[in-house]
Structures are given as structure tokens and as C-alpha cells.
Chains A and B, each alone.
Chain A
């Protein structure tokens, strides 16, 4: 299965899109941790796109492309902003990893701790993350 969502720039639409994507993906989940891993990553990626990428502009949209089968699920998330600095994706580089009591910079590190694959594409303008169902993340080890 595959699809593309173009999500309007408001909190309610983003929450609804995440809920709908989780419903679409739920037949593929092999255990309960798959559902929460996908939910964490969707929330962090879409909140990052809405808040930082699109500066909460209601006129700007978030694009989510996805693919799923019995073995894996993949997401590509992009917004209308300038993109994510590539070094922020490296282990130890986010604000929350440098200072555990930082109130910012925790989202990307949470994606890295829960997804099985994570990559920045299109010069930082597209965030890719993927899951192997039933397998915990080893990106942060």
C-alpha cells in the first residue's frame, strides 16, 4: 500500500491525519510497540514541520508520502520551510542530547530512538523515517 497526504496547517488537521495514518497502518503492526513507535515519529515529524518548517502558517501544508507492507513501513515528510540542518540528525547533536534538561530539540532524537531508519533527503527538506515491524530501533546504539 502507498499514499500521499497533504495536511492543512492546523493542529486539528494534523491530529486527524495522524489518527487516520495509524488506522491505515494498524493491520501491519506486529506488536503493540509498532503502533506507539509510529505514533511518536508521526507526532514529532509533523509537529516539527508545522512549528519550525511552516512557522504555524495555516496557509502552508505538510506533505506525507507513505508506503507499507507486511515487513516494513516508510514515511517521507516535507513542509514549505527551509529544511532541517543535517547535523541535527547526528547522534548527540540535538539540544536535548547535549543537555538533558533542555526543553527543546527532543523530537528528532525521539524519532532516532524509535524508528529503524532515519535520513534527511532533498537538502534537508524531506525527512525520511522507516520501520521494520516487530524490531526495536538500533539507530541510537
Chain B
């Protein structure tokens, strides 16, 4: 997983499958980087091929951290199977999804993130 900071936005680039065997590590690794200055988190899912319900819970956990800060979690570049999971888990109804990283960053920038 790669993580980079862009202003007050954290860009996370996980790889492979996010499932019950590794979702806790992903959540802990992101939380370690979520210092008080971070308001936006962009999950670039271009290298993620599958997410299960525990992976979906990581996204929800981040939303719960960011919302009180008036921050936002967004996702971009979903593969077809991941898009299917987002629909089945209803993640697609609680966070913004963008076709590309560039479009996601422009959205966050417009929100001062």
C-alpha cells in the first residue's frame, strides 16, 4: 500500500484484495497517517481487485473519523468487481466515487482539501 499526503488530503493506494485477513492492517495503517491536519482521504482503488464486508467497514470507519472534522472520504478508479461490491454493500450510497484520481482531487480541492 502506498500513502502520500497532498496538502490536507491523504491519498491511499492499496493493492490486491481487501478482505477479512488484511482489512484490520489496512485500517490501522491509514489511521496512523490520519493526523489532525487531514480532512480529505482519497482511496485510489485502481489496484484493488476485490473488497469484502470487512473492507467495506474500513471505509465506514474512515467516514466516521472524517465527518466530525467536516472532512470527506472519496474513492476513485474502481475496477468492475469492486464497483459490484460497492453496490452490494451500499458503499456507493455513502461516499463519492470518481472515474479518475484527477477528478477526485479536483473535487476535494474545490472543498479546500
Interfacial residues, chain A to chain B (CB-CB below 8 A): 11-12, 14-15, 32-33, 35-37, 39-40, 43-44, 47, 50-51, 96, 100-104, 106-107, 110, 113-114
With A100-B90, A101-B63: A106-B81 Cβ-Cβ less than 8 Å: no
Interfacial residues, chain B to chain A (CB-CB below 8 A): 19-21, 50, 52-54, 56-57, 60-61, 63-64, 80-81, 84-85, 87-90, 93-94
The reply to whether A11 and B85 contact each other, CB–CB distance below 8 Å, is no
Separation of A101 and B84 alpha carbons in the complex (Å): 19
Shortest distance between the CB of B35 and any CB in chain A (Å): 22
The reply to whether A11 and B21 contact each other, CB–CB distance below 8 Å, is yes
Residues of B within 8 A of A32 (CB): 80-81
With A33-B84, A114-B88: A102-B20 Cβ-Cβ less than 8 Å: no
The reply to whether A43 and B88 contact each other, CB–CB distance below 8 Å, is no
Residues of B within 8 A of A43 (CB): 19-20, 50, 52-53
Residues of B within 8 A of A36 (CB): 50, 80-81, 84-85
Separation of A44 and B88 alpha carbons in the complex (Å): 12
The reply to whether A47 and B88 contact each other, CB–CB distance below 8 Å, is no
Separation of A110 and B54 alpha carbons in the complex (Å): 11
The contact of B94 among A14, A35, A39, A100, by CB within 8 Å, is A100
Shortest distance between the CB of B6 and any CB in chain A (Å): 26
